[in-house]
Each structure stands twice: as structure tokens, then as C-alpha cells.
Amino acid sequence: MIPQNTMVLRDGRLQVHQASELVPGDLVLVRSGDKVPADMRLVHCDELKMDNSSLTGESEPQERSTAVSAAGLPPQEAANLIFNGSIAVSGEGLGIVVRIGDATMLGQIAGLTMSGERRPSQLTREIDIFVKVLAVVAITTAIFFFCFGLVRNLSLGMNFSFAVGVFISFVPEGLPLTVTALLTLSAKKMAARNVLVKDLHGVETLGAITLLATDKTGTLTQNRMSVSEIWMNSVLYGVSSSVSTEETAQRRRFALETTPNAQQLIEICALCSKCRCGFSESAISPKSTNSMPFSESNGPVSSPEAASLSSNKSSASTNNKTSNLNSVLPSQFKIFGDATEVGLFKFALECEPNLDERIIAEHPKVWEIPFTSHNKWHLTVHRYDHVDGFFMAMLKGAPERVAARCTHLLSGTLKLPWNDVAQADFEATYAQMAAQGRRVLGLASLALPGDLFPVDCAWTSSDVDALRSFLIDPVSCVSVKASNVDGKDVPPAPKGSSSSSWLGFTLVGLVGLMDPPKSGVRRAVNALRMAGIQVVMVTGDHPLTAEAIARRVGILQGDIERIDAPDVGCGKDAIAGQVKADVADSAYRVPAEGIVVHGDAIDRLTDLAWDQVLSHSEIVFARTSPRHKLEIVTRCQAKGHIVGVSGDGVNDAPALKKADLGISMNVSASDVSKEAAAMVLLDDDFCSIVSGIEQGRLLFANLKKSIRYTLTHSLPEIMAFLCFLVLEIPLPINTLLLLTIDLATELAPSI
């Protein structure tokens, strides 16, 4: 492998050094496209965005700055930290090294993977037991015949040779070669079914597993989001192309022409997004290359699909373009980005075919705060003419986070105040949509006043500070601005204030997206259950969403209990009114077949509580971390299960290594998870696991037949020695002939 080089500031000048030579305290320059060589704290950065997908699983690049983050925030969500293994997507930064090698976050995850010892496979354990029993029988029989020979006054040499021959007659010399040959043949058959076996013993382990812990997104579901329902104007609308006829009949049909405020919701779906659009070469003629629907102003696009990839940061000059999204055939048009945003963008495109000309080109993006797992929202500001000004702020994210920043609710032509009635309607609808397995997003907007943000606003740092101040206290900012013509005295945002105190937005509506299960998953889960294998869902999604998807794929079928997080009291748990389960040993009971466990509650479970949880036949673990997944695997193994784990992310690697059999995806999986797994599903198809189990169990059956065949030679060979001793018939076979017969006749027929 080529050593990784990095730019280090030493002795007052930049020098090139290998990453292995870094020490804590070094100043390292990171530029666009560089791989971060160590965990670092930023001391300077310029528009730096990092791809942390290998660590956090977030596909969207995250903005980084030198701002100090709040205490208690997870390190991977701190804005001023970048980590070993992450990649700089754009911009550049200068950071001071704080951790190197195994001490880095990536090193710690790798350490968990390396420290996880894999148990011997079920076949290895059973063969060990079989060989030990056979050895005891062989040694005992050899000793008996040796003593019997002494009684018959045989010479010591002949008697010893005689005892060795008896011992050899019991030994299945071809067994190791037979087992290896059968495993190799089974692995070849599984490869033909898109199951790549890295460890031959994984073939038989797959046939012996009793519990399969599986992830949800990308494993059980397609990871293809589509809008299924919309709540706005206090009405729940159905999108018939995404939901069943029965569901659609219970809701009003959403349509751009007949649904009030539909245009504003579509605009937020299309504009508050980081999706990129690409076209195949057949859709781009030489004449139209310079008139693409979007113009990229944020650096090169990393996708190799086509040089014409672009973002929705459009300039006003795109109004003269003649091409539009609707003029490109579906097979020639692709949307790249996060699955959720792609689903929203496609929905907007279906409602408004001329999306590029009528929305994106007319409302270019001028500033944004990207989505993070900590904020759970995405804010963009666009050029947007309205009666009070020239810019519009659009907010998209977790409904409870968006609603907390809203003071009004859009209903028809009115902006209703956000009161208890609106809150109750919002919470009831939110719970209903989440309980159906939908990923729910809240959409809101805020018209920025023209006197504070004029048409020629350049959106410099001072303008951004003014926006933050306005979002914290809109009334006072407008009043101050009105009394200062030049606007220089707009009060800055209070020190220590955060986005949690932002107000003034108007909730436009809720959007529910569905991620349909993969074809055949429910049938595969039922087949696994009939085969005596318990399927457990272990996911990072919310418990309500995890429960709904688990029911759709057949993992949950009966009544369930819930063990919520210790700090339940906000968000979907409170909205749904879930009943908190008491995990105290004296009070915990198991009246239901299924159970949904929040990851934050795992640390509270005692040994007895774990026994009670694992005694359920239907189990779902939600909001889990890598440490939780490792704990789940360990506890299941302690209960006597042979555990298989399927996953595709870096965070799954420790559990994949710890499990009796780690099964990794291929297309969507990280290199770390593939390395930790013993088996890789080349087509990312969950149903391939069922095919692998069939081959594994067939291997067991064939191996039993082979062992029975190889043991059939023992009795006639022993009879020859017995006749020699008892009847004094000349010994018809010697030790060398025994070995020849065993090796020559056992292998080929047994295969």
C-alpha cells in the first residue's frame, strides 16, 4: 500500500510528511479531496465540508468551523473537530492533531473489531466432540486388544503393531479432507447465488444459526424514499402513486391545482435540498451542454456519472435555458443525494414538471445551514420576491424541532397562531404517520423583511449575523432597523444563543415518506421463522418507525411491550403516549410476544431483565449505537444462540466480528464492514441469506452421510483383528493396507 502523505506546518513552513510521522500538537493542512490523517481540532478553516459517512453513516457532507461546540455534544457532531478517515469534500482547513493511531475514533472502532474474538463454528465444535469421543473409543479398544494379545502370548512387537492397527481402523483419516471439499463445493454453489464466502466455515455456520440480527435501512428496505402522504391545511392528503388504493381512499388526493398552499410546499421540497441531478450522455447534445437546468457554484461534483452533474444553487441567468427536467426521458435522468431528499425532489418534480425554470432558476440559494444529526434540520435562504421583501428562509427537518421554531400554522389563506389546538392536531397527525412506518419531516418558511435584507444583500458574515439576530427576536430587529437607515446598528445575536431559540417560522405542513421493504423480504422472514431462526431487528431508527417496518416485514406480528429511553418526554415517544416498561427485576413481566427496546435503555437492563427481553419471540432494538449492537450480540450468545449479524456500516463492524457469522452487504457496505464479515451478499439481497441457510443445512446433511459412510469400514476391519485373536485365523490385513483402503475409498464416494 502507498503511504499516506500530508502537509504539516513545522518550523514555520509547510512540509510533506507521512501520516505515520504525525504527533499530537502538529498543525496539519487539509484541502479538498484530502483524507484526514488523524483526529484534529480546527484552528482555521475556509468553507470546509467533511464527508463523515465512514464514521457516522451520514451521506451528506458536514460543514466544519472553528466555533466551539456546546458541552456534552458527541465528538462526531462537534463543528470544530475532524476525524481520521474522513474526507474533505470542499474548502480547506488547518487543524492541530489531538489524537493519532489507535487513539483516534476510527482506531477505537477498529480496536473493538479486533478485540472481538470469534467463537469456533458450530461444525468445528461438533467435529471436535465427535473426534474426542471416537478417540476415547479407539484408545480403549486398542488397549483392550493389546492386553488380550499379551494373554495370548503374542510377541511385544507384533502385539504393538496389532494394537496400532486396531486404533487406525477407528480413525476416519479422510474426514478433514472431506469436510474441506464439501465446504468448498458449497461455497461455489453459494457464489452462484450472489453470496461470497470469505471463511469456509461460514457456510456451515449460516446453516446452524438460531438468531439473525439484521439492520433495517438498505437490508430489509430498499432505501428509496417516496412521498406517501402530506398534512397541510389541517388535512391529511394521500399521494396515490406511493400508497395503496385503500389508504388513498381514506385521504384527500393531493394535487397542485386543487390543494391550497401546495405550491409553497413543493417549493420547499425542491429548494431546501442538496440533491444533484445528472443526465446520461444521450440526453446531452453539444448544443445544449451550456444550457443545463442547474448551475453549480460550489465546486466540482464528486459523482462520476457525468460531467453535467450540478446542484440546485442556480443563478438568475438560467432563465434563458431551453431545456428542462421534463424534456429528459426517465432513463436518462438521475437524481443524486440523500435518499430522503431525493424522495422529496422527485415528488416536487412529479407535481411541477418545469421545476428548473419555474422554481429553481427563479429562487437561487444564497445561504444555508446543512442538516446534521445533532440539529436534525436543514435551513436555506433563497432569493424570493414577496410583498414584504426579497428573500425567503425555508426550514426542513424533524417535526418536533421544526415546530419548536414556529409561531404560526399555515391553513388555507390564513396564518393561524400556534396554540394548543394547533399543537394537538400536529401531535396527533405526527403520531399517526410515524406509527405507519413513515419518515416524517416538517416543512416551514419565513419571509425575511426587505428593510433588513434588501435586494442587493450580499449575504456576507454581517448579513448572516443579522439573520441569526432576526430569528431570535424578529420584532426588535425590525424595530431597530426601521430607526437606522443604514442598518449598522442591528443588534448581534446574544452570546451563547443557539438555533434552539429561533422563532417566527410558519409551519407549512408535514410530509411522510415511505421506504418500502425489498421484494420477498416478508417471505424470507417467514421462511427463517419456519426454519427455527429468530429474526431480530437492530436499527438506529426511531422505535415507532422500527416497529411499523418490523410489522410490515413480519418480524413483529403479535402484541408488544416497549422499554423506552430513560429520558423519554419529548418527541415521538411522548406524542404516541408509549407506556414505559419497568425493567426492575421485581416488577418486570412478559405478557406479550414481542418487545421494542430503545437503545438508551440497554445500559439499564440487568441480567434478569436481559433474560426477560430475550425470552420474547419477536424483538426490535431501536436507536442503537455500535456499543449497543456489540452488547446485544454478546447477550444473545450467552443465552446459547448461534448468532448471525447483517450490516453494512462502519458502526456494524464490531458486531459483525463478534457474531458467529457476520454477513455484510456489498453495494452499500463500507470496506471495514466487509473486512469484519465472513460472508458478503453481492446483490445486497436479504433473500440470499435464506439461500445460504439452505446450502448450510444441506452441507450438514451431506456431512452426516459422509461420516456414516466413513465409519462403516471400522466394523469389518475390527472383525478381522478379532478373528485373528479368538479363532487364530492368520491376520488378513496390516496397518499399511488399512491406511491405503481408508484414504483410497473414503474421499471420492463421500463427496
Residue 494 sits in the same domain as residue 605: no
Residue 622 and residue 565: Cα distance in Å, rounded? 10
Write the pLDDT tens digit of every residue in 542-586. 788 788 889 989 999 888 898 886 644 333 343 333 333 444 443
Residue 593 sits in the same domain as residue 658: yes
Residue 492 and residue 545: Cα distance in Å, rounded? 40
Residue 379 and residue 168: Cα distance in Å, rounded? 77
Phi, psi dihedral angles at 614 (to 5 degrees): -75, -10
The answer to whether 440 and 434 are in contact (CB under 8 A) is: yes
Q: Considering only CA atoms, which of 704, 718, 715, 706 is closest in space to residue 745?
A: 706
Please tell me what DSSP assigns to residue 492.
P
pLDDT band at 373 (very low <50, low <70, confident <90, very high): low
What are the cell numbers at 289? 451542454
**Collapsed DSSP state (helix, strand, coil) of residue 225:** coil
Residue 401 sits in the same domain as residue 503: yes
Domain encompassing residue 16: 5-115
Q: How many CA atoms lie within 13 A of 661 on its CB side?
A: 34
Burial 538-560 (b: 16+ CB within 10 A, else e): bbbbbbbbbbbbbbbbbbbeeeb
Sign of CA dihedral 379, 380, 381, 383: negative
Cell 449575523 locates to 465
Residue 112 and residue 96: Cα distance in Å, rounded? 26
In a domain, 214, yes or no: yes
In a domain, 417, yes or no: yes
Position with higher pLDDT, 43 vs 712: 43
Write the pLDDT tens digit of every residue in 174-194. 778 788 888 888 888 888 888
In a domain, 304, yes or no: no
**pLDDT cut 90: percent of the chain above it:** 17
Residue 601 sits in the same domain as residue 649: yes
The CA-CA-CA angle for residues 85, 90, 91, to 5°, reads 105
In a domain, 314, yes or no: no
- Asked if pLDDT for residue 596 goes beyond 50, the answer is yes
Q: Considering only CA atoms, which of 413, 412, 318 is closest in space to residue 358?
A: 318
Q: Write down the pTM of the prediction.
A: 0.61
- Asked if pLDDT for residue 668 goes beyond 70, the answer is no
Sort strands 406-411 and 414-417 into parallel, antiparallel or unpaired: antiparallel
Angle between helix 262-271 and helix 339-351 axes, rounded to 10 deg: 140
Which pLDDT does position 256 carry in this prediction? 60
In a domain, 429, yes or no: yes
In a domain, 373, yes or no: yes
Which whole-number Å values give the CA distances from 741 to 173, 712, 724, 730, 735, in the listed order?
A: 10, 12, 19, 19, 10
Which pLDDT does position 621 carry in this prediction? 93
Q: How far is CA 206 from the centre of its chain?
A: 22
Q: How far is CA 213 from the centre of its chain?
A: 13
Q: Is 660 a catalytic residue?
A: no
The mean-pLDDT minimum among 56-65, 92-101, 188-197, 501-510 falls in 56-65
**For residues 69, 75, 76 and 78, what is the CA-based torsion angle, rounded to 10 degrees?**
10
Residue 143 sits in the same domain as residue 81: no
- Asked if pLDDT for residue 271 goes beyond 70, the answer is yes
pLDDT band at 147 (very low <50, low <70, confident <90, very high): confident
Percent helix, strand and coil across the chain, each rounded to 5? 40, 20, 35
Mean pLDDT of 701-714: 78
Residue 437 and residue 545: Cα distance in Å, rounded? 4
Residue 106 and residue 27: Cα distance in Å, rounded? 20
Q: Which contiguous run of DSSP H or E holds residue 31?
A: strand 27-31
Please tell me what DSSP assigns to residue 569.
S
Which pLDDT does position 280 carry in this prediction? 41
What are the cell numbers at 11? 518550523
What DSSP line would sit under 301-342, residue for residue? ---SS-TT-EES---GGGGG----GGGS-GGGEEEES-HHHH
The residue from 481, 514, 547 where one domain ends is: 514
Which pLDDT does position 295 carry in this prediction? 28
CATH code where residue 646 lies: 3.40.50.1000
Which pLDDT does position 310 carry in this prediction? 32
pLDDT band at 314 (very low <50, low <70, confident <90, very high): very low
Residue 572 and residue 39: Cα distance in Å, rounded? 35
Residue 597 sits in the same domain as residue 621: yes
Position with higher pLDDT, 235 vs 257: 235
CATH code where residue 59 lies: 2.70.150.10
Residue 201 sits in the same domain as residue 67: no
Angle between helix 156-170 and helix 122-151 axes, rounded to 10 deg: 150
Highest average pLDDT, of 146-155, 194-203, 205-214, comes from 205-214
Write the pLDDT tens digit of every residue in 416-452. 999 999 999 998 998 888 888 788 899 999 999 988 8
- What is the number of other CB atoms lying within 10 angstroms of the CB of residue 12? 5
The answer to whether 243 and 229 are in contact (CB under 8 A) is: yes
The mean-pLDDT minimum among 474-483, 528-537, 554-563, 695-704 falls in 474-483
What are the cell numbers at 633? 450480540
Total tally of structural domains belonging to the chain: 4
Mean pLDDT of 495-505: 59
Residue 451 sits in the same domain as residue 579: no
Angle between helix 687-711 and helix 735-750 axes, rounded to 10 deg: 150
**pLDDT cut 70: percent of the chain above it:** 76
Which pLDDT does position 33 carry in this prediction? 74
Position with higher pLDDT, 412 vs 111: 412
Which whole-number Å values give the CA distances from 75 to 40, 214, 341, 418, in the listed order?
A: 11, 27, 26, 35
Which pLDDT does position 445 carry in this prediction? 94
Mean pLDDT of 608-617: 91
Phi, psi dihedral angles at 500 (to 5 degrees): -65, -20
- Asked if pLDDT for residue 461 goes beyond 80, the answer is no
Mean pLDDT of 712-736: 75
The mean-pLDDT minimum among 206-215, 275-284, 370-379 falls in 275-284
Which pLDDT does position 117 carry in this prediction? 56
Position with higher pLDDT, 80 vs 276: 80
Which pLDDT does position 325 carry in this prediction? 46
The set of residues, in sequence order, having a beta carbon less than 8 Å from that of 138 and lying 6+ positions away, is 166, 167, 170, 171
Q: Which contiguous run of DSSP H or E holds residue 202?
A: helix 201-208
pLDDT band at 321 (very low <50, low <70, confident <90, very high): very low
Given the residues 51, 215, 515, 660, select the one marked as catalytic: 215
The residue from 482, 514, 546 where one domain ends is: 514
Residue 211 sits in the same domain as residue 260: no
One-letter amino acid identity for 217? T
- Asked if pLDDT for residue 624 goes beyond 90, the answer is no
The mean-pLDDT minimum among 72-76, 177-181, 657-661 falls in 72-76
**For residues 629, 61, 436 and 251, what is the CA-based torsion angle, rounded to 10 degrees?**
180
Q: Which residues pair with 30 in a beta bridge?
A: 93
Residue 56 and residue 35: Cα distance in Å, rounded? 16
Please tell me what DSSP assigns to residue 357.
I
What's the mean pLDDT when you consider all of the chain?
76
Highest average pLDDT, of 36-40, 241-245, 398-402, 744-748, comes from 36-40
Which pLDDT does position 747 carry in this prediction? 66
In a domain, 558, yes or no: yes
CATH code where residue 263 lies: 3.40.1110.10
Residue 579 sits in the same domain as residue 663: yes
The residue from 698, 723, 738 where one domain ends is: 698
Write the pLDDT tens digit of every residue in 629-653. 889 999 999 999 999 998 876 677 7
Residue 111 sits in the same domain as residue 151: no
Residue 588 sits in the same domain as residue 657: yes
Residue 213 and residue 403: Cα distance in Å, rounded? 35
The CA-CA-CA angle for residues 515, 517, 521, to 5°, reads 165
The set of residues, in sequence order, having a beta carbon less than 8 Å from that of 494 and lying 6+ positions away, is 472
Residue 11 and residue 83: Cα distance in Å, rounded? 25
pLDDT band at 532 (very low <50, low <70, confident <90, very high): very high
In a domain, 612, yes or no: yes
Position with higher pLDDT, 370 vs 226: 226
